[in-house]
Chains A and B, each alone.
Chain A
Amino acid sequence: MRQRSLIAITAALTAGALTLTACGSRDDKDDGDEAGGGTTVVIGVDAPLTGELSALGLGIRNSVDLATKQANQKKYVDGVTFKIEALDDQGQPSSGQTNATKLVADKDVLGAVGPLNSSVAESMQKVFDDAKLVQVSPANTNPALTQGPDWNGGKKARPYKSYFRTATTDAIQGPFAAQYLYNKAKKKKVFVVDDKKTYGAGLAATFKDEFTKLGGKVVGTEHINPDTKDFGAVATKIRNSDADLVYYGGEYPQAGPLSKQMKQAGSKAPLVGGDGIYSADFIKLSGKQGVGDYATSVGQPVEELPSAKEFIANYKKAGFKEAYEAYGGYSYDSAWAIIEAVKKVVDDNDGKLPDDARAKVIDAMKDVSFDGVTGKVSFDEYGDATNKQLTVYQVKTTDPKSGWKPVESGTYTGTN
């Protein structure tokens, strides 16, 4: 008898723990839609909604949610009501693949926005492509996703026809940073660190190539383990390398502590990273040591674009708890690209969804072209955004909300 109650307690505790875990992946607000009747089209969202990168992920989810609400409000596609289905990938490729499978199984899903991480995208692409379901990422910047693994050797080949993105790639983000830092900020000796993930390692490599081509010197390289926060040993190596710049390929949960620890160790070099560190949380984590650090991010600052004013106002009005963060505008545009494609498919089929709607949406995607929050939204033959604007930001104050200030925007010019 006693034994049995013990087992019951164990089971109850384990079940409790699992239930709590499950809470994280449940979409907490799905308040139905006002427009009844007609067809429902679901736009899937895959992003890290919990965990370290959740700030960016929640911004993505909310922005897609906003796009569908606006489309419903305007009755943009006749007889079609849009809904979102947001799934949490926690930044893990395995979760991303599970989520992709789940979205594919739901017949109402005609497109998916996400994910945030390039490594997660790698695991999802084939699942979506097999099901002919279009995927538009607002944030993946690894060039191999659209141009194949040999993109750097000159042989570009698009691996999956169903994959599109509104963000520009690291093939220009890394070199853009290198040009700014070498020519304008006059930095000559760099220490390159990356987290060995698809995004981080790829970005660091493109930066390194361009920086050495310009005449800069790489005084050291290091790979870190993203599971840890202790970078003491690496920080010491950086200090002793006499670098005047540290390039970090990776994301803010590691970049923040790394910036703090390398400066505490006595290094004067600023840390530079890509869009993965361009987040309010970077400033929170790096504290006063982060002032002076740089990040590049895709596009122009959303706040400065006239096309974004309406988006920002609507986002505020919708009352989301979380900020739209670095990818809000891109997520909104990604969702709208899907909505536009669905509209074309419906219009071409006498106002009804055809049976092979998914495949038709992929076809329609190629010709999508409209003025979005982030500028002109359209895709080239690889599924990449044709908008190749980039901006360098610098941390000016320790205030997370307004610490990042744009220092230069432009389009990368040079050999690509």
Chain B
Amino acid sequence: MHELPQQLVNGLLLGSMYGLIAIGYTMVYGIVQLINFAHGEIFMTGGFGALTVWLWLPAGTSVWAALPLMLIGAIFVSTTIAIGAERFAYRPLRGAPRLAPLITAIGLSLALQQAVWAWYPEAKSARSFPELPGGSIHIGSVTMQPGDIFLLITAPICMIALGYFVMKTRIGRGMQATAQDPDTAKLMGINTDRVIVVAFAIGAAFAGIAAVARGLKYGQIDFRMGFILGLKAFTAAVLGGIGNIYGAMIGGVVLGLAESMATAYINDVPGMDKLGGQSWADVWAFVLLIVVLLVRPQGLLGERVADRA
């Protein structure tokens, strides 16, 4: 069992990344009841935004110095695409039957994936991403990379900042009001269009940060990375209670821990030796999702918009 602390950290790291992406799903759903399936690809383009900045910088720039610029690049690209998608793909469909924006989202997701594949130089297979310098860090039996530390620090900071934003700022309160009842909110003088754009932008910014974190952690990005991670993040959002921003983070971490525990220990359970290991991790993650939804259909922390309508 001496590998337990390491496996917990592995799960926490994976989960933090799911959580950061899940916020984009949950905020958009909370406000406009739209499942933005293109969010995974918005995350992916953020990664390529950061890589572009890195390639523009003169060779030999230290990664630490480049990191803030890369983050800005990632956030710029992902938010621009998200705002563009909202304006041109989703807003015209507001009020249409729910199936229409869903199909648009899937189409947009394919279009973004293929656009990067077709136009980003050498993006047809994985591209290497700079890694943070410095050796691994040992705490007891736990080994971590500088990229892991970046993720562990960034995820909580993002959450706290978002919590403050939603609770304390004017537009944040406007968001809550729009989530509860968009028509009444509009009558109260809230610019709901702006609120929705901000929700898309914040989700995309977090996805951009997550993409940089992923690049630093694995040292590579590719045009298809958004699909699977997006699905997992969506699962995390549902697990935590879609529409609930803290739920997204909790759901992400629970999902990450479930995957890493399943990989490490299911094999050791008597009679389960054929059902364990990394190739079964997704299965167990979804079993967990089903169990949670059976017992608590609103998700772990509950869906904040459930009482409406």
Interface residue ranges, A against B (CB under 8 Å) = 3, 5-7, 9-10, 13-14, 16-18, 20-21, 23-24, 50-55, 195-196, 222-225, 227-234, 236-237, 239-240, 253, 256-257, 260-261, 264-266, 281, 284-285, 287
Contact = CB atoms under 8 A, between A and B. Distances in A.
B100 to A, nearest CB: 6
Contact size range, B: 35 or more
19 contacts: A6-B100, A10-B103, A13-B108, A17-B114, A23-B118, A24-B114, A50-B124, A52-B125, A196-B279, A225-B278, A225-B279, A225-B281, A231-B278, A234-B278, A237-B263, A253-B125, A261-B218, A266-B143, A285-B128
A227 B285 CA distance: 15
B222 interface: yes
Contacts of B2: 240
B93 A6 contact: yes
A31 B117 CA distance: 24
A287 B114 contact: no
Nearest to A225: B279
Nearest to B13: A232
Interface string B7-26: 10011011000000000000
User: Which 8 A-B pairs give the minimum distances between C-beta atoms?
Assistant: A20-B114, A232-B10, A17-B110, A233-B263, A14-B107, A223-B279, A13-B107, A17-B111
A6 B263 CA distance: 45
Contacts of B145: 264
Contacts of B110: 17-18, 20-21
A222 B219 contact: no
B259 A233 contact: yes
A3 B96 contact: yes
Given A6-B93, A10-B107, A54 B124 contact: yes
B218 A257 contact: yes
A9 B101 CA distance: 10
Given A13-B111, A20-B114, A236-B10, A52 B126 contact: yes
Given A50-B124, A225-B282, A285-B128, A6 B92 contact: yes
A6 B96 contact: yes
Nearest to A232: B10
B237 to A, nearest CB: 19
A20 B116 CA distance: 11
Interface of B: 2-3, 6-7, 10-11, 13-14, 89, 92-93, 96, 100, 103-104, 106-111, 114-115, 117-118, 124-126, 128, 131, 136, 143, 145, 218-220, 222, 224-225, 228, 259-260, 263-264, 277-279, 281-282
B124 A233 contact: no
Contact of A237 (B3, B89, B118, B219): B3
A284 B128 contact: yes
Contact of A287 (B106, B125, B131, B278): B131
A9 B126 contact: no
A105 B10 CA distance: 51
Dominant SS at the B interface? helix
Contact of A285 (B89, B220, B264): B220
Given A20-B110, A21-B114, A257-B219, 11 more contacts: A6-B93, A6-B100, A10-B103, A13-B111, A20-B115, A50-B124, A232-B260, A233-B7, A233-B264, A233-B281, A234-B278
Given A52-B125, A233-B264, A260-B218, A265 B228 contact: no
Contact of B7 (A21, A23, A225, A236): A236
B308 to A, nearest CB: 24
Nearest to B124: A54
Nearest to B141: A240
A52 B223 CA distance: 9
Given A236-B3, A285-B126, A9 B89 contact: yes
B117 A50 contact: yes
Contact of B260 (A233, A260, A264, A266): A233
Contact of A281 (B13, B96, B126, B228): B126
Nearest to B89: A13
B104 A233 contact: no
B16 to A, nearest CB: 12
B126 A222 contact: no
Contacts of A53: 125
A114 to B, nearest CB: 18
A224 B264 CA distance: 12
A53 B125 CA distance: 7
A260 B14 CA distance: 16
Nearest to B261: A233
B126 to A, nearest CB: 6
B14 A232 contact: yes
Contacts of A195: 279
B104 A9 contact: yes
Contacts of B14: 230, 232
A24 B7 CA distance: 39
Given A20-B110, A196-B279, A234-B278, A10 B126 contact: no
A266 B140 CA distance: 13
Contact of A229 (B93, B103, B115, B225): B225
Given A17-B107, A20-B110, A55 B125 contact: yes
Given A9-B104, A16-B107, A223 B143 contact: no
A233, A234, A240, A256: residue with the most chain B Cβ atoms closer than 10 Å: A233
Nearest to A284: B128
Contacts of A266: 136, 143
Contacts of B6: 236, 265
A9 B93 contact: yes
A20 B118 contact: yes
A54 B104 contact: no
B202 to A, nearest CB: 24
A232 B13 CA distance: 9
A18 B107 CA distance: 8
A281 B128 CA distance: 10
B125 A54 contact: yes
B279 A224 contact: yes
Q: Which of A53, A228, A253, A256 has the most CB of B within 10 A?
A: A228
B225 to A, nearest CB: 7
A5 B88 CA distance: 12
A266 B144 CA distance: 10
B278 A233 contact: yes
Contacts of B277: 222-224
B219 A260 contact: yes
Contacts of B104: 9-10, 13-14
